[in-house]
Structure 1
């Protein structure tokens, strides 16, 4: 009997040590891993307004882009002045701004649908639709279903559920939102 208890104690101690060692090893590896939900990248909007650079930039960056950058060293007096000076604006007017050029990944077919609980970005083509991203707001859960000719994204929290439905089965995609 005593021999059985000693064996049981040795087995329990060895098993406990193995579990603890495994847990510490796995914990060390997973501690640095990122398991958060990915955040959606902002999509460029054709209706976006451009903030004047003078309002947010330092004086060094407030100059128009077509003017050369002034160096900290003094210019040589013998340097030829081949450029014509830019016309000066009134002191109260902000410097001219340039509209940012769209990136190669921005397409006019991507539309964003913000609803309570999150945001859904869809690539809507004439004959099909595809999910670009679905990002839940903090505290909300997200679930995605898709089938042949349709997809659905739900955002849920407690007893609230809000959805984005897309259907394109034989017709152009239609998007509906349901807020409950």
Structure 2
């Protein structure tokens, strides 16, 4: 009995050490990884999600700085008594301007596996976002003439395929 207890104790300690070491390694690698949060489409006044909306500004783009109306400040030997408040001028439009890559209209496709949003232009398209549903995984492929997003859950597959190689962009949704 004592011998069996010693084996169980040794096994428990070895297993605990292995789990701790594995967790520490994964945690160290994942701690430096940053993920962009999923982007949402704007809501309409009725509360339903907009299927077609104005192009969105990507989260990574920054507005261009406006040129300063004041000439460059002159340096003086005498320090100013107190820092002055920065001057702000009202902008003519409070809404952000569309990004330079926004080429058409935003179209959203809801499937059993998740949601795909494309920016569809006259002769090409770009993937704006793809969000898998609960319990689904996602994979994307992008080439110069098509974009494919596939959602998978077990044996179920849903594919959203946008092509524009032989004409204007068109989207096909298939379940298999």
**TM score, norm. by length of structure 2:** 0.50
The superposition leaves residues 44-96 of structure 1 with CA deviations (integer Å, 9 ceiling, x where unpaired) of: 25xx1257xxxxxxxxxxxxxxxxxxxxxxxxxxxxxxxxxxxxxxxxxxxxx
In the other structure, the counterpart of 1:29 is 28
SS in 2 for 1:43: coil
**TM score, norm. by length of structure 1:** 0.49
Pick closer, same or farther for the CA change 1:42–1:103 going to 2, 3 Å. farther
Is 2:165 the counterpart of 1:169?
yes
In the other structure, the counterpart of 1:159 is 155
Alignment of 1:85-124 (within 5 A): 103-105=96-98, 109-124=105-120
Give the C-alpha shift of residue 136 in structure 1. Answer: 0.6
Give the C-alpha shift of residue 28 in structure 1. Answer: 5.5
Residues 112 and 121 in structure 1, CA contact (< 8 A), matched pair in contact too: yes
Give the C-alpha shift of residue 22 in structure 1. Answer: 7.2
Higher Rg of the two aligned structures: 1
Q: Which runs of 5+ in 1 are unaligned?
A: 1-15, 52-100
Give the length in aligned residue pairs.
Answer: 111
Pick aligned residue for 2:140 from 104, 127, 144: 144
SS in 2 for 1:169: coil
Residues 38 and 135 in structure 1, CA contact (< 8 A), matched pair in contact too: no
Q: Which runs of 5+ in 2 are unaligned?
A: 1-13, 48-93
RMSD of Structure 2 on Structure 1 (CA): 3.4
After TM superposition, where is structure 1 displaced by more than 4 Å over at least 4 residues in a row? 19-25, 30-35, 105-108
The superposition leaves residues 15-44 of structure 1 with CA deviations (integer Å, 9 ceiling, x where unpaired) of: x9xx98976764563464567x75532222
